[in-house]
Structure formats: structure tokens, C-alpha cells
Amino acid sequence: MNGHIVLLPGDGVGPEVIAVCRPVLEAVGRRFGHTFSFEEAPVGGHALETLGVPLPEETVARCRAADAVLLGAVGGPQWDENPAHLRPEAGLLRLRAALELYANLRPAVLYPCLQAASPLKPEVSGGAFDILIVRELTGGLYYGARGRTEAGAGFDTMVYSEREVVRVGRRAFALARARRGRLTSVDKANVLDTSRLWRAVMHRLRAEYPDVAYEDMLVDNAAMQLVRRPGAFDVLVTENMFGDILSDEAGAITGSIGLLPSASLGEGYFGLYEPVHGSAPDIAGRDRANPVAAVLSCALMLRHTFGLPREAECVASAVLSAMTGPRKTADLAGPADTPVGTRAFGALIAEALTS
């Protein structure tokens, strides 16, 4: 199998974690007889500084011509005062829309070997859990009309169509069917009309998936239940902003947001893969970032774009093997562990792949 991947290192720790991914994918290729080719393109603050825009058209064209895209991170405080269209995040939002990537898959797994890193007590976490959050990615507040008025008010508009809810809802039901058969739809239907539309559409869809146990849950309750009984969840599906917030909360209870990968998918096999964490400017360039989320994003790429579940499982197993050892990145290291840097931990993962 041959695959072409566009690397978008981006800003902050993005280039550091992406640098770990390439040798991991090359190790997978050597072990299983695949060939992956790579090219880099600018996005985010790096693109702003070098080309004056957060998403150059050339980057979009390269991404469309590739099999998959692997993104590091975008953003940084030096661009916080820029107009909205000249912020690094604007490039990422536009890229998702340009590539029609409407379903964002965000797994959150608490591994038994990292129970001590989780802020939850073992009797609450159950010692381990495996949750998948499916976030609608190209609608809602992040894409609605926005602005400031002369009277000094600001506004952001949340809009959803039935089509947008149907396509992400069907994706979530199918994913739940392939896992443990439970789907929780998260909304704010007691207040928002968009959520009432969301709930009505999801209720129609559940008739197509009678084998999936379905429940509705208000977003504030979902946020509470994630820290009270995370093991009760299998797949959660929700709109853009709720999914953004809940997946960060899910990352916190696994022990580190540096563990969370993501896959942004459309109708076909193409996907954009990225760690959930941000650019972490406070540790950028210091070899302290946890590369696990980026590497596990590669595992999602192998599974969803390239159709290589065995290879994806091998990458996930290599990550688990590395995390089980005494050497860990600073965000996970306990009193008995030896802290190691980004590059060294990436080497441990690559070594586990070849052993």
C-alpha cells in the first residue's frame, strides 16, 4: 500500500510532535510492507508570518491532492490581537470547511497504567474507561454570522440544518454499533431551538439503528456525568462547541490532554488527523510536549483513511508499551518515573513498534 500524507506542523509544539510521527509511520511501513510519502505545508501562525494569511490556497490544494493530512497545532499569544480572519485558528476553521470534514472523532481512554495521573479516584473512574466523542465540526457558532455592533454589542449565531445533523448522527450511530452499542446525544434542548432540531433528527435516526441503545442528555448534565461516572459512556455525539468543550474535559480526566488524538472525516476515506491539545506556547521548543496524542492520531489515520486496522492496533500497542515503562513525559511522570522529552519518548514508541 502506498499513501501520501501532507504534514502541517503549524505553531508552538506542533512541529515537535509532528517530527515524532514521521519515523513512527516509517517504522509501520517497514514492518508491514507499506510506503508512505510526505510533504510539508504552512498553516496557522507560521503561514501568517511567512505568507500573510493563516491558510494559503496552495496548502488547501496540497491537502486535497493527498490521501490524508496530519496537523500539529495552531495559535499563540502573539496573534491574539489580530482581526478574526488573521488569527491562526481562522486557518484551521477554513481548512475543515474547505475539505468538508464534518465529523470529528475524539477518543478519550484512561489506561490502567495511568490511573495515578487521572484526577478521578479509582472508584469513580473504574480504573479504566474508553469513550468516543463525535463532534459536529463545520456548523454551529464557529461558522455562523458574527460581529460587533456600533452600540457596543457582539454577536455569534448558531445555525444547524437537518442535513448537517443527519450526516453526523448517522456517523455516530454507526460508530456506536461497531463499539459497545451505546450512543448518548448531547444537546441543550430545554433552551436552544438548534438543540430541539438536533434532538428531533436524532430521534428519527434511532429507528434505523434498533440495535444501538440511545439516550438524550443535556450538556450540563453530560459535563457532570463525565467526572462522576465516565465508564457509563460509550459514544457521545454533539454539536460543535459542546463537543469542543466536553472533549477537553474528557482529556483532563484521562490524565493529560496530551493523550487525546482526533480524526476529522467527511464522506469518503480522506481525513485530517491532529492531537486535541493546542500549541502550548509555554513549553514550545523545550522538548517537553507529550507526543502520544499525535502518534495516536496516526493510528486513527491508519484505521480510517488507509483501512489498516492491524497496523493501527500495533501503533496503539506500542504507545501503551512505552507508557507502561518507567520513562514518561513530564505531564505523566510520577515520583517513581524518569521524565523524558518529546524526542526520547517518540523513540521509545518507535522502538516498541520494531521489537
Handedness of CA 14, 15, 17, 22 (dihedral sign): positive
| Residue (of 32, 26, 16) closest to 309 by Cα position | 32
The catalytically annotated residue of 188, 216, 287, 337 is: 188
Residue 248 annotated among the catalytic residues of the structure: yes
The catalytically annotated residue of 156, 220, 269, 282 is: 220
Alpha-carbon torsion, ordered 157, 161, 163, 168, to 10 deg: 40
Write the CA distances from 54 to 7, 79, 170, 216, 318, integer angstroms. 15, 11, 32, 38, 34
Question: Read out DSSP for 254-281?
Answer: HT-GGG-EEEEE-SSS-EEEEESS---T
Q: Quick check: 144 and 241 in contact, CB under 8 A? A: no
Q: Which pairing describes strands 129-136 and 103-110: parallel, antiparallel, or unpaired?
A: antiparallel
Place of cell 449565531: 157
Handedness of CA 271, 272, 274, 278 (dihedral sign): negative
Question: Read out DSSP for 212-242?
Answer: SEEEEEEHHHHHHHHHH-GGG-SEEEE-HHH
Residue 130 annotated among the catalytic residues of the structure: no
Alpha-carbon torsion, ordered 347, 348, 353, 354, to 10 deg: 80
The catalytically annotated residue of 11, 67, 234, 244 is: 244
Residue 244 annotated among the catalytic residues of the structure: yes
Handedness of CA 280, 229, 226, 259 (dihedral sign): positive
The catalytically annotated residue of 130, 248, 287, 337 is: 248
The catalytically annotated residue of 67, 102, 111, 142 is: 142
Residue 220 annotated among the catalytic residues of the structure: yes
Distance CA 231, CA 252 (A): 15
The residues annotated with a catalytic role in the active site are: 142, 188, 220, 244, 248
